[in-house]
């Protein structure tokens, strides 16, 4: 018995070690490949340079950072209110059976491959944006491939994350809080906005951070619908290129310096994600004690 337990213990240790080793190796690999490019260009010039033209040997990724930020922030602006409204509707308005149906429909969204989202965006959203943009400024010749298209599709893609985690944390708010609020003469709206949502805030916040992580990292869908023009976007109808999209598109033909620069973009992405996770954990630690 004793030896068998030892063997199993060793086996599952190896399983755990593999995942940690994978993270470590990927990190080392990205940094080893990408650092020379950053050193050659200079960190500040690399991050704040506005000209991304690898054929001319110019590697400034500010347009790519701005593109990623623009679609991500846009996705959050659309996705947070929609997701929260949806979560409140599911947990506070519908009965259990109806909510179950809605929830499985929303969770199904998470299972759709991202290339399908991209194709849907290309076939449906982009033409709609083209039509609208041409009403506003007929001379600009907008294609519809834009920051807005990326933001809309990403907003849909992060909905399952925001909704399901938020619903769980709203459902976990004790019924005694609601009773106390009703007993003081508050109505349902006041009870939800002033008691239930604040009590569920740490879960809601983590759902938003996870959604944001997904939006920044998403590659295929935004690649298809944002136009991939490496300029700092100047409006919601203008095209943009994201960091992930640029890596995916250019890696197949990039050589030498160019390839190293793409890995350097990977470093920047990696650092952004680490900062995001760290911030999320810090905020959750601060609020966590008081949350439901």
Partner 1 sequence: MISNVKTTNDLAFKIRDLNLHYGDFHALKDIDIDIPRHKVTALIGPSGCGKSTFLRTLDRMQDTVEGAKVEGEILFDGEDIYSKECDVTDLRKKVGMVFQRPNPFPKTIYENLVYGPKVHGITDKKRLDEIVERTLKEVALWDETKDRLHTSALGMSGGQQQRLCIARCLAVEPEVILMDEPTSALDPVATAKIEGLLHDLSGKYTVVIVTHNMQQAGRVSDQTAFFLLGELLEVNSTEKIFSAPDNKKTEEYISGRFG
List residues binding partner 1 (CB under 8 A).
174, 176-177, 179-187, 190, 194-195, 198-199, 289-292
Under 8 Å between Cβ of 103 and 167: yes
Taking the least distance from each CB to partner 1, the nearer of 140 and 184 is 184
CB of 166 to partner 1, least distance (A): 17
**Cα–Cα distance, 61 to 261 (Å, whole number):** 9
Taking the least distance from each CB to partner 1, the nearer of 9 and 290 is 290
CB of 44 to partner 1, least distance (A): 43
CA angle 46, 71, 279 (to 5 degrees): 70
**Among candidates 84, 228, 81, 204, which has minimal Cα distance to 149?**
228
CB of 163 to partner 1, least distance (A): 23
**Cα–Cα distance, 67 to 93 (Å, whole number):** 38
CB of 194 to partner 1, least distance (A): 7
Q: Which residue has the tokens 């030896």?
A: 3
Taking the least distance from each CB to partner 1, the nearer of 220 and 292 is 292
Under 8 Å between Cβ of 183 and 109: no
- DSSP string computed for 128-167: HHHHHHHHH-TTS---S-SHHHHHHHHHHHHHHHHHHHHH
Taking the least distance from each CB to partner 1, the nearer of 95 and 139 is 95
Taking the least distance from each CB to partner 1, the nearer of 138 and 185 is 185
Taking the least distance from each CB to partner 1, the nearer of 186 and 273 is 186
Q: Look at strands 58-59 and 52-53 and give their pairing.
A: antiparallel
- Locate 35 and state its tokens: 């650092």
CB of 175 to partner 1, least distance (A): 9
Taking the least distance from each CB to partner 1, the nearer of 122 and 291 is 291
- Locate 221 and state its tokens: 């869908």
CB of 179 to partner 1, least distance (A): 6
CB of 206 to partner 1, least distance (A): 17
Under 8 Å between Cβ of 213 and 270: no
CB of 97 to partner 1, least distance (A): 13
Taking the least distance from each CB to partner 1, the nearer of 76 and 195 is 195
CA angle 218, 211, 206 (to 5 degrees): 150
Which residues lie closer than 8 Å to 68 by C-beta, 6 or more apart?
A: 216, 242, 243, 244
Under 8 Å between Cβ of 61 and 46: yes
């Amino acid at each position: 018995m004793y030896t068998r337990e030892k063997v199993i213990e060793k086996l599952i240790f190896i399983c755990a070690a593999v995942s940690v080793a994978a993270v470590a190796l990927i990190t080392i690999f990205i940094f080893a490949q990408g650092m020379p490019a950053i050193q050659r260009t200079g960190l500040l010039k690399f991050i704040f340079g506005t000209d991304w033209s690898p054929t001319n040997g110019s590697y400034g990724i500010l347009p790519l950072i701005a593109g990623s930020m623009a679609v991500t922030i846009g996705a959050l602006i659309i996705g947070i209110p929609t997701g929260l409204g949806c979560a409140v509707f599911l947990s506070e308005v519908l009965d259990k059976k109806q909510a179950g149906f809605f929830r499985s429909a929303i969770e199904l969204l998470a299972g759709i491959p991202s290339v399908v989202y991209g194709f849907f965006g290309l076939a449906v959203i982009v033409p709609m944006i083209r039509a609208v943009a041409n009403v506003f400024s007929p001379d600009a010749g907008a294609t519809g491939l834009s920051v807005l298209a990326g933001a809309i599709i990403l907003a849909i893609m992060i909905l399952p994350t925001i909704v399901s985690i938020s619903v769980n944390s709203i459902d976990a708010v004790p019924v005694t809080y609601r009773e106390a609020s009703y007993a003081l003469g508050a109505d349902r709206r006041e009870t939800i906005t002033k008691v239930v949502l604040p009590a569920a805030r740490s879960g809601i916040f983590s759902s938003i951070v996870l959604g944001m992580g997904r939006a920044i990292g998403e590659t295929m869908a935004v690649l298809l619908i944002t136009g991939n023009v490496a300029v700092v976007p100047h409006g919601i109808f203008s095209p943009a290129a994201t960091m992930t999209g640029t890596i995916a598109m250019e890696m197949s033909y990039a050589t030498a310096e160019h390839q190293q620069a793409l890995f350097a973009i990977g470093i920047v992405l990696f650092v952004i994600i680490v900062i995001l996770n760290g911030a999320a954990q810090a905020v959750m630690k601060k609020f966590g004690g008081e949350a439901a």
